[in-house]
């Protein structure tokens, strides 16, 4: 541990804060977290030695507040600040404020951030350093006339980009002159809102290109090393979804050239710290400089998986003035790794972000799997922050091994309570373009079918109906001993699916839908998993139940089912003969009618107590009570006829 460095504050949240804190504590430093009001019980808060509130939920009042974070660092006696990625990680003024406060910024110098932060100026520097750049216009004259003249030289299609941009914001693809002015206006407005700077530049669009980036690390002693490349071509609307290392698009010669250019780019600005030099690879295999991210990347785990190097540890090392302690030949590459970003979003609804409370979180595990997450059960997913919940990474000796490992990990990942893109990711991993390693940056724009919603299968509906009529707290043994009963569940949805459940005297059940019938035997039931025997097979379903809604994960599929009438959940429907039967053994605690009373469908007639739960039994027909065999305090068995109703002729 360097002299004078004892405490490191992580100026971020979510999975990256948890990940950085892990290395901080492994190295023997004290780790400090910061949090907004929305994150008071977040995992990164619990992972730290100490946590400090920095403001309200909106990022401008918390994670983007330089004064609040510097004050937190002083309050906790932090010697250094790690910014993670996003937020203030590429903010030169924040890096300068750290230096002014006598706090080490674990990242590059303010000068290096500024040099690469302006994308126009960065490309001019790269051209001067001999790094190939895409032809375009990067002039200071932003008038429509100057831009139009540049377009005539560049030609279509072209990309409009924000000079201060990043993360896919302020970017537009333009195919014709008619699209130019509206696209410039929206890109400039978006950039101004996101970065406070609406300056644009233009580039020739590379169609069906690959997005390749190189991980570099420089120290204060003039050494810059690369840690191989990553392929980030699987992206939607310029946002990365799957990332992998190494790239299947490069041969050894191309790999050597692109990594050498990345090192040259970093050396040209005397870069110190972790950085990523990004390139586009055209269809002829020629690469062009895109931008340099002066921070740790979201996808850094795939590099760590194939190199065995902890990049955060190296960041801390070089930030404290130590040499890297490595030579290029010391860095070896083993196998392949692929990362999937798990987002709270609904692909079938245009990838709209989703909010809610996480009711189940069971990440996959295994020797070839890594999960970086910043969530826990019971946590609220709010609209204030990026929708990424976790990163799931698979490794294997070959790319295909890594792909299969990640696919299985996603299938095994259980997250309920908030909608995610998990099924979209599993479809994408099985898509021919990805499997073959030929996917390009524009592929997903035409692959709409991957975002479709799953049509519920009959067995999923059967399981959901069974769970909705299963009394809370009732064990499998008690279910089997409760005797015969029947229920009718009607799901909300376009087809208003009706499911009939009949529990037999031996505890087995018949579940009937319009075109399917299942004979099932409940085997085990715990807090969130139901196991059924169906013929010669055992089927396992993970679930979360809330009021009249149940979420199901079965065979890697996800579905939500809601009962139309909440009152019908767990209740006994009167048969067409007007008889009200006890759905289970229990004690009569209320009798709300007398013989001769007229009742309407849905009226509560009798209340039973079983397993410390009260169940209301309601009329299923209109008519007059002619028989009543229920007395308060009496114990009745399942299927006991509690009342009979003479059905109105008009009904």
Q: What is the pLDDT of residues 526-541, one digit of tens each?
A: 988 999 999 999 999 9
Domain-terminating residue out of 431, 451, 471: 451
In 48-143, alpha helices (H)? 66-75, 92-100, 110-117, 119-128
CATH of residue 251: 3.30.470.20
Instruction: Report the candidate in 517, 535, 544, 524 with the shortest Cα–Cα distance to residue 479.
Output: 524
CATH of residue 579: 2.40.50.100
Whether 130 is covered by a domain: the verdict is no
Residue 565, pLDDT score: 58
Whether 122 is covered by a domain: the verdict is no
Residue 584, pLDDT score: 59
Whether 412 is covered by a domain: the verdict is yes
Residue 574, pLDDT score: 40
Whether 415 is covered by a domain: the verdict is yes
Question: Does 247 share its domain with 384?
Answer: yes
Whether 198 is covered by a domain: the verdict is yes
Residue 651, pLDDT score: 41
Question: Does 560 share its domain with 477?
Answer: yes
Q: By the 8 A CB rule, do 11 and 98 touch?
A: no
Question: Does 341 share its domain with 221?
Answer: yes
Residue 570, pLDDT score: 39
pTM of the model: 0.81
Q: What is the CB neighbour count within 10 angstroms for residue 105?
A: 24
3-state secondary structure of 550: strand
Residue 621, pLDDT score: 83
CA distance 152 to 157: 11
CA distance 363 to 565: 33
Residue 372, pLDDT score: 98
CATH of residue 547: 3.30.700
Whether 127 is covered by a domain: the verdict is no
CA distance 343 to 624: 55
CA distance 522 to 533: 6
Whether 121 is covered by a domain: the verdict is no
Question: Does 245 share its domain with 369?
Answer: yes
Question: Does 506 share its domain with 629?
Answer: no
Question: Containing domain of residue 617, as a range?
Answer: 574-647
Tokens of 122: 């960065």
Question: Does 188 share its domain with 215?
Answer: no
Question: Does 37 share its domain with 184?
Answer: no
Tokens of 141: 């004259």
Domain-terminating residue out of 451, 484, 517: 451
Question: Does 545 share its domain with 600?
Answer: no
CA distance 393 to 504: 46
CATH of residue 179: 3.30.1490.20
Residue 575, pLDDT score: 43
Question: Does 312 share its domain with 348?
Answer: yes
Question: Does 30 share its domain with 169?
Answer: no
Q: Cβ-count burial of 7 within 10 angstroms (0-12 exposed, 13-18 middle, 19+ buried)?
A: middle
Whether 124 is covered by a domain: the verdict is no
Question: Does 245 share its domain with 386?
Answer: yes
Q: Cβ-count burial of 308 within 10 angstroms (0-12 exposed, 13-18 middle, 19+ buried)?
A: exposed
Question: Does 237 share its domain with 358?
Answer: yes
Q: By the 8 A CB rule, do 456 and 226 touch?
A: no
CATH of residue 42: 3.40.50.20
Domain-terminating residue out of 181, 204, 227: 204
Those residues of the chain that have pLDDT short of 70 are 1-4, 165-168, 494, 565-577, 583-586, 609-614, 638, 649-651
- The count of domains in the chain is 5
Give the tens place of pLDDT for each residue, 582-624: 765 567 888 999 999 999 888 889 887 653 445 778 887 888 9
**Residue holding tokens 């025997």?**
533
């Amino acid at each position: 541990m360097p002299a004078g460095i004892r405490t490191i504050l992580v100026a971020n949240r979510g999975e990256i804060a948890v990940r950085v804190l892990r290395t901080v504590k492994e190295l023997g430093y004290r780790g400090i977290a910061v949090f907004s009001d929305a994150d008071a019980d977040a995992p990164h808060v619990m992972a730290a030695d100490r946590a400090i509130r920095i403001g309200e939920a909106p990022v401008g009042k918390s994670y983007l507040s330089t004064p609040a974070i510097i004050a937190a660092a002083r309050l906790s006696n932090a010697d250094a600040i790690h910014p993670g990625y996003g937020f203030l990680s590429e903010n030169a003024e924040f890096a300068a404020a750290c230096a002014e406060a006598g706090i080490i910024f674990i990242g590059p110098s303010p000068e290096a951030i500024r040099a690469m932060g302006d994308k126009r100026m960065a490309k001019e520097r790269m051209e001067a350093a001999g790094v190939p750049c895409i032809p375009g216009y990067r002039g200071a004259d932003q008038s429509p006339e100057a831009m139009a003249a540049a377009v005539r030289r560049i030609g279509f299609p072209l990309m409009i980009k924000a000079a201060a941009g990043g993360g896919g914001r302020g970017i537009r693809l333009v195919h014709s002159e008619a699209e130019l002015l509206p696209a410039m206006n929206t890109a400039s407005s978006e950039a101004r809102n996101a970065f406070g700077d609406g300056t644009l530049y233009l580039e020739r669009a590379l169609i069906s290109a690959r997005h390749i980036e190189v991980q570099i690390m420089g120290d204060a002693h003039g050494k810059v090393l690369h840690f191989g490349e990553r392929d980030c071509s699987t992206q939607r609307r310029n946002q990365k979804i799957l990332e992998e290392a190494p790239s299947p698009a490069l041969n050894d010669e191309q790999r050597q050239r692109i990594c050498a250019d990345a090192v040259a780019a970093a050396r040209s600005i005397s870069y110190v710290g972790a950085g990523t030099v990004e390139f586009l690879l055209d269809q002829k295999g020629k690469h062009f400089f895109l931008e340099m991210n002066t921070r740790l990347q979201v996808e850094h785990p795939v590099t760590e998986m194939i190199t065995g190097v902890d990049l955060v540890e190296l960041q801390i090392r070089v930030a404290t003035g130590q040499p890297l302690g490595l030579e290029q030949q010391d860095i070896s590459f083993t196998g392949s790794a692929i990362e999937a970003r798990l987002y709270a979003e609904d692909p079938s609804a245009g990838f709209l972000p989703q909010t809610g409370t996480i009711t189940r979180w069971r990440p996959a595990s295994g020797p070839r799997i890594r999960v970086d997450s910043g969530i826990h059960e019971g946590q609220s997913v709010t609209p204030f922050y990026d929708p990424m919940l976790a990163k799931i990474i698979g490794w294997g000796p070959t790319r295909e091994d890594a792909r299969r490992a990640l696919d299985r990990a996603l299938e095994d990942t259980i997250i309920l309570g908030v909608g995610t893109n998990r099924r979209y990711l599993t479809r994408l991993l099985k898509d021919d373009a990805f499997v073959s390693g030929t996917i390009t940056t524009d592929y997903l724009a035409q692959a709409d079918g991957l975002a479709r919603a799953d049509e519920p299968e009959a067995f999923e509906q059967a399981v959901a109906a069974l769970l909705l009529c299963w009394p809370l707290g009732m064990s499998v043994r008690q279910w089997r001993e409760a005797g015969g009963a029947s229920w009718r569940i009607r799901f909300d949805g376009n087809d208003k699916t009706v499911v009939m459940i009949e529990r037999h005297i031996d505890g087995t059940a018949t579940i009937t839908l319009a075109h399917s019938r299942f004979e099932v035997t409940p085997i085990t039931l715990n807090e969130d998993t139901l196991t059924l025997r169906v013929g010669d097979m055992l089927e396992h379903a993970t679930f979360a139940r809330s009021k009249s809604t149940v979420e199901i994960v079965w065979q890697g599929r996800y579905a939500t089912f809601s009962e139309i009438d909440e009152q019908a959940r767990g209740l006994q429907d009167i048969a067409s003969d007007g008889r009200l039967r006890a759905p289970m053994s229990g004690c009569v605690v209320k009798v709300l009618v007398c013989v001769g009373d007229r009742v309407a469908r849905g009226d509560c007639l009798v209340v039973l107590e079983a397993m410390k739960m009260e169940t209301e039994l309601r009329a299923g027909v209109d008519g007059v009570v002619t028989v009543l065999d229920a007395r308060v305090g009496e114990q009745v068995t399942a299927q006991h006829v509690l009342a009979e109703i003479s059905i109105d002729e008009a009904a």
